[in-house]
C-alpha cells in the first residue's frame, strides 16, 4: 500500500512538473490595464499573418517587425475586450452560429465545408468560433463608442449632394494602400519633425521600387498594417477628406504624401481605379391586409380569413381597399386601403420582401406569415430608378457617416491606447 501511495505521489509530482513546464511555455508577454496579452496569442497572430501572406504570395518583413505589429494589434484588441466586459457586451452562441453560417454562405459554402477548410489549414474550429465572437464584440464596442462622436449637419449633407451632382462621376472608386507614420496624441515639435523625416524616408524607399505591402507591415501605425496597408475599394466620397482631395486626378500606381493629419503622416498608393456601374434602385408599390392571431382568433383562422378574402378579390366580389379599411390591423396603412406606397423592398421583413419579389404587378399573394401576423399582399407596381432626391440625401448621409466614423475610430483607438497602462515584458 505504501508503494502504491508513493507511486501516486511520484506520478502526481511528475504531472505537476509537466504542467509547470507546459504553462511556462505560455507566458504573459504584455500587461494591458487590467488584462494581459499572452505569448501564445502573439505567436498565433504571427502565424496567421504568415499563412495569409503565403497564400497571397506576399513577402513579409522580419519576425521582429511582425512581432511588434502583432503586439500592437493585440493591445488594441485587449483594451476593446476589457471595455466590452465593462459595458456588458456579449454575443450568444445562436448569434455566433448564425454569423458563421452567413460567412460560409457568402463564400458559396456550408458550415461543414468551412470546418473542413479550417481543418486543412490546421485551425481548430473552436478557436475560429471564438475569434469570430471576439470580432463581433469588438465591432459592437467600437460602434457604440464611436457612433456618439459622429455628428452630421444638414448643411454637410446638402453640400455633398450638390458636389455629387456636379461631379457626375461620383462613380470613381480607388483601391488604396495606406501607410501611417503615427504621432502621439499631443506631439512635440521634435515628434513632428522625426515623424516627417521617417515618412520622407518611406516615400524614398517606395519610389525606389520597394514592395508597398511589405513596407506597410514594417512601418505603418495604421490599423490595416498587418494587411499590407490595404484599405480596399473606397468611393471618393466615403474616404477621409484628406485622402479624397489627394487622390483626385491621380493615376494608377501613384504615390501620394506625406499628408499630415492629427494621427500623423499618411502615405497613399493608388493600386487601381474603377468606375461604378450605373446603379438602378428597385422600388415597389404594394398594399396589404394584416390579420393578427390572438386568443380569440387562432393562427389557422387568421390564415383562412385571408384565403377567403383572396378568393373574393379574384372573383371580383370584394374591393381590396374596403377589406383593408375594415379588417386590416396595420393602423399605418389600413386607412389608406392597405397601401404602403413606393418603398425600397429591403425595408420590409424577409418574408414580406421575398413574397413581393415573386409577384407580378396586380397579382395577389397567398397568405404570408411574418412576425407581425398574417398578410395578404398585392403588388401594385414596381419601378427601377437611379435615385430620388431623398435617396441622394440618404446616400450622402451614409457616406459622410462612413467617412467620419473611420476618422473618429482612429482617434478613439489612439486616445484609448495613450491613456492605458501598457507594459511589454521582455
Q: Is the pLDDT of residue 134 over 50?
A: yes
What are the angstrom distances between the C-alpha of 86 and each of 79, 81, 92, 149? 11, 9, 17, 19
Q: In the predicted model, what is the mean pLDDT of residues 51-75?
A: 90
Q: In the predicted model, what is the mean pLDDT of residues 66-71?
A: 92
pLDDT of amino acid 4: 33
Q: In the predicted model, what is the mean pLDDT of residues 417-423?
A: 92
For the segment 321-367, what is each residue's pLDDT rounded down to a tens digit? Answer: 999 999 999 988 999 999 999 988 988 988 899 999 999 999 999 99
pLDDT of amino acid 359: 94
Q: What percent of the chain has pLDDT over 70?
A: 90
Q: Which of 387, 361, 350 has its CA nearest to residue 287? A: 361
pLDDT of amino acid 170: 54
The values of phi and psi at residue 349, to 5°, are: -60, 155
For the segment 187-207, what is each residue's pLDDT rounded down to a tens digit? Answer: 999 999 999 999 999 999 999
Q: Is the pLDDT of residue 280 over 90?
A: no
CA-CA distance, 58 to 211, in Å (whole number)?
9
With beta carbons less than 8 A apart as the criterion, state whether 401 and 419 touch.
no
CA-CA distance, 283 to 262, in Å (whole number)?
42
Give residue 395's pLDDT band: very low, low, confident or very high (50, 70, 90).
confident
For the segment 215-271, what is each residue's pLDDT rounded down to a tens digit? Answer: 999 999 988 899 999 998 988 778 888 898 898 778 888 999 899 998 999 999 999
pLDDT of amino acid 269: 94
Helix axis angle for 125-147 and 389-419, nearest 10°, is 100
Q: Who contacts 384 (Cβ-Cβ below 8 Å, separation ≥6)?
A: 280, 281, 282, 283
CA-CA distance, 214 to 219, in Å (whole number)?
9
Average pLDDT, the chain: 86
SS3 121: coil
Q: Which of 171, 162, 159, 152 has its CA nearest to residue 233? A: 171
Give residue 68's pLDDT band: very low, low, confident or very high (50, 70, 90).
very high
pLDDT of amino acid 384: 80
Supply 387's cell numbers: 435615385
pLDDT of amino acid 24: 45
pLDDT of amino acid 274: 81
Supply 124's cell numbers: 481548430
Q: All domains of the chain, ordered by start, with CATH?
A: 154-278+391-424 (3.10.50.40), 281-385 (3.10.50.40)
The values of phi and psi at residue 257, to 5°, are: 130, -175
Q: How far is CA 2 from the centre of its chain?
A: 63
Amino acid at each position: 500500500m505504501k508503494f502504491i501511495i508513493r507511486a501516486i505521489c511520484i506520478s502526481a509530482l511528475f504531472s505537476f512538473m509537466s504542467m509547470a513546464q507546459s504553462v511556462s511555455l505560455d507566458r504573459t508577454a504584455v500587461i494591458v490595464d487590467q488584462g494581459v496579452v499572452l505569448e501564445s496569442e502573439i505567436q498565433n497572430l504571427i502565424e496567421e499573418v504568415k499563412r495569409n501572406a503565403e497564400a497571397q504570395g506576399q513577402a513579409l518583413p522580419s519576425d521582429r517587425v511582425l512581432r511588434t505589429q502583432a503586439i500592437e494589434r493585440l493591445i488594441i484588441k485587449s483594451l476593446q475586450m476589457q471595455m466590452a466586459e465593462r459595458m456588458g457586451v456579449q454575443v450568444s452562441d445562436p448569434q455566433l452560429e448564425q454569423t458563421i453560417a452567413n460567412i460560409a454562405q457568402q463564400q458559396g459554402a456550408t458550415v461543414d465545408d468551412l470546418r473542413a477548410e479550417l481543418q486543412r489549414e490546421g485551425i481548430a474550429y473552436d478557436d475560429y468560433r471564438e475569434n469570430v465572437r471576439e470580432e463581433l464584440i469588438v465591432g459592437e464596442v467600437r460602434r457604440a463608442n464611436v457612433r456618439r462622436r459622429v455628428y452630421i449637419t444638414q448643411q454637410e449633407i446638402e453640400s455633398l449632394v450638390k458636389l455629387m451632382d456636379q461631379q457626375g462621376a461620383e462613380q470613381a472608386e480607388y483601391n488604396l494602400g495606406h501607410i501611417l507614420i503615427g504621432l502621439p496624441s499631443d506631439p512635440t515639435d521634435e515628434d513632428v519633425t522625426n515623424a516627417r523625416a521617417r515618412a520622407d524616408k518611406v516615400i524614398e524607399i517606395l519610389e525606389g521600387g520597394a514592395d508597398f505591402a511589405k513596407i506597410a507591415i514594417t512601418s505603418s501605425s495604421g490599423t490595416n498594417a498587418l494587411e499590407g496597408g490595404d484599405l480596399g475599394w473606397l468611393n471618393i466620397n466615403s474616404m477621409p477628406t484628406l485622402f479624397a482631395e489627394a487622390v483626385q486626378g491621380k493615376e494608377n500606381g501613384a504615390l501620394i504624401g506625406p499628408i499630415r493629419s492629427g494621427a500623423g503622416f499618411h502615405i497613399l498608393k493608388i493600386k487601381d481605379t474603377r468606375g461604378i456601374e450605373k446603379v438602378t434602385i428597385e422600388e415597389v408599390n404594394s398594399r396589404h391586409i394584416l390579420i393578427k392571431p390572438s386568443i380569440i382568433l387562432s393562427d389557422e383562422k387568421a390564415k383562412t380569413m385571408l384565403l377567403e378574402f383572396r378568393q373574393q378579390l379574384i372573383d371580383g366580389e370584394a374591393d381590396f381597399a374596403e377589406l383593408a379599411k375594415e379588417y386590416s390591423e396595420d393602423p399605418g396603412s389600413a386607412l389608406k386601403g392597405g397601401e404602403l406606397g413606393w418603398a425600397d423592398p429591403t425595408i420590409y421583413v424577409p418574408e414580406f420582401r421575398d413574397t413581393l419579389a415573386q409577384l407580378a404587378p396586380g397579382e395577389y399573394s397567398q397568405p404570408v406569415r411574418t412576425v407581425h401576423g398574417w398578410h395578404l399582399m398585392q403588388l401594385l407596381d414596381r419601378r427601377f430608378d437611379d435615385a430620388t432626391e431623398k435617396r441622394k440625401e440618404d446616400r450622402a448621409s451614409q457616406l459622410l457617416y462612413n467617412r467620419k466614423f473611420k476618422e473618429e475610430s482612429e482617434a478613439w483607438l489612439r486616445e484609448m491606447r495613450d491613456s492605458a497602462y501598457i507594459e511589454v515584458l521582455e
